[in-house]
Each structure stands twice: as structure tokens, then as C-alpha cells.
Amino acid sequence: MTQKTYIQSYCTIQNNEIVLNGTSVFKTEPTEFADFSKQAYRNFEMQYPKFFKMDALSKLAFLGAELLLSPITSTELENNIALVLANKSSSLDTDVKYQESISDKENYYPSPAVFVYTLPNICLGEISIRHQLKSENSFFIFDVFNTEFMSNYSNILLHSGKAETVLCGWVEFFNDNYKAFLCTISAQENEKYTNETINTLYNK
Amino acid sequence: MEALKLELKNKIITTLNLEDIAIEDIADNDPLFGDGLGLDSIDALELIVILDKDYGIKLVDPKEGKVIFQSIESMAAYISANRTK
């Protein structure tokens, strides 16, 4: 019989608002994501200048991960946190921007700083660097958030001993439309979310 | 030369998204990499693009960058001597 796993914390970012464990922790007036994310960064005093160099998808994933992982990784205790994220649009938002920057043959100056974000799993790298993770990580592309797959995949990592905690979720960004849902899952019993699943919390 | 240095500081802050850094924070002889502005390897590539795009200078030997991109002072001196636009 496999050991039951529990959601420890979750975070949703959409419509200019960040909700952590069901409580709104940051909200702005309607604005573009670039402005919203900058305000959120300053609000939580994240102190990580590389944030400003990231593309929108990485900023979105970074913000959610920061709120969920900082309480874990800021301690001296050793951790083994796997990252399992997914979305629909991959890195298309940045891909389009990059393509636009190289479409004029008379003005052909590809930006290395934009190019490096033309893969969706770069956001996993950004989170790993920030939290010093040398763990399993995977990024999947689905039409919609496949909560069953993500839950099963996370449980396999936990049950096989590949990870003690999994940061699992959905980080979708395209044309300034965005939604992030991230949660941490582990085998540690958590009375707060005994019956909740990724699916019920995502759709809350 | 002073105008060029100011222009370079502006370009570096804007192009490299140095959000928390102001022009007055960058001294002409501050190292751009390492303990100075803390730029990284991708930033170095962006500086090469700036040389090409804005000043018509194509760096053939990337090793040259180590000397040219030491500071705003060294960048300005190299651009003044080699610019084609």
C-alpha cells in the first residue's frame, strides 16, 4: 500500500492577486503583469535583482515558488525538493518576442538575454538557482491542467524516495494572460488539507 | 567622452534590466563584472550586441571583451577609438 501524501501549502496568482493558502496576501489595481510582478517583488522584499532579468513566465513561477519554498529552504536543514510544473503555452510568449526581434533582416540583433528564456523549463532553473536545489525537475505541456497526471507524478517521486517534497503546479503565461497554481506536497500529515487534492484547490 | 560614459551607463541599466541601480551608482572605473555591477555571461553577450547595434563595432575575438568591458571608462575609450556610427 502506498503512503498517503498531503498538500502542505498552496499559492494561486491571477488577476493581479496572490492568494496563499486561501488568504489574499497581495493585490493591486488592474495593471500589466510586468508592473504587478514588480510590485509583488517589492512588497515581499525578495532581494534578488536577477528577478528583473527574467521573462514573464519565470517571474510568475518564481513569485509562487518564493512564497512556498522560502519557509523551507531558508532553514539550515537539508531538503530534497523536486519541481514538477506544467502549462499550455510553453514559452510561446517569449518565443514570439524573440521572433519579432529577429524578423527584420536590416535590423538583425538577436538578444541573448531574451533567447535564453525561449524554453519553458528555464523557470525551473531559476527556482533551483534561487533555492539551491539540485533535485528532480520536469516541465510538461498540456492543453489544460492535468491534475491527475501531476498528482500521480508527484506521488511517484515521493514514494520512490526521489524527493521529500514536491513543488507541483501550473504556470501559464501568454499575451499578459496568466495563472499560476503551485503547491507543495509531501508525506508529512497535514490536518489542514486532509482531503484536498490539487484538483479541488486549483478549482477553488 | 563624458557624454558617452553617461550614455553607456543609461544603456547598461536599461538593456540589462538593472532595476535597482541608478546612474550615480556606477563610477567610471567600477568593475562591470564580479564584485562591481555583478554582470554575468549573458550580460557580456548583450554588451557585445550594444557595441554592434549602436556603435557599429563587431567584436571578432571575444577575448577582447575582457579588456573592453572592464569598466565604463574602458568601454568608452574603446568605442571612441573604433566606432563606425
User: Would you state the pLDDT for residue A113?
Assistant: 94
φ, ψ dihedrals at A9, nearest 5° = -155, 155
User: Would you state the pLDDT for residue A145?
Assistant: 94
Q: Does A48 touch chain B (CB under 8 A)?
A: no
Nearest to A154 by CA among A173, A137, A132, A141: A137
Angle at A128 between CA B39 and CA A202, to 5 degrees: 125
Task: Using an 8 Å CB-CB cutoff, list chain A residues near B18.
Answer: 49, 52
Q: With 90 as the cut, is the pLDDT of residue A4 above it?
A: no
Task: Using an 8 Å CB-CB cutoff, list chain A residues near B58.
Answer: none
The model's pTM is 0.93
* Among B17, B19, B45, beta carbon nearest to A112: B45
Domains of chain A, start order: 6-202 (3.40.47.10)
User: Would you state the pLDDT for residue A92?
Assistant: 98
B2-82 has which fold?
Answer: 1.10.1200
CA distance A163 to chain B (A): 31
A109:B18 CB<8 A: no
Q: Helices in chain A by DSSP H: which ranges?
A: 33-43, 56-73, 92-101, 112-115, 122-131, 147-159, 198-202
B16-35 residue pLDDT tens: 999 889 999 999 999 999 87
Average pLDDT, chain A: 94
A93-137 residue pLDDT tens: 999 999 998 998 888 999 999 999 999 999 999 999 999 999 999
- Three-class SS state of A184: strand
CA distance B55 to chain A (A): 13
Distance separating alpha carbons of residues A139 and A119, to the nearest angstrom: 10
Choose between A195 and A28: higher pLDDT. Answer: A28
User: Would you state the pLDDT for residue B20?
Assistant: 86
CA distance B32 to chain A (A): 15
Distance separating alpha carbons of residues A186 and A167, to the nearest angstrom: 9
Nearest to B73 by CA among B33, B32, B38: B32
ipTM at complex level = 0.86
B51-81 residue pLDDT tens: 999 999 999 887 888 899 999 999 999 999 9
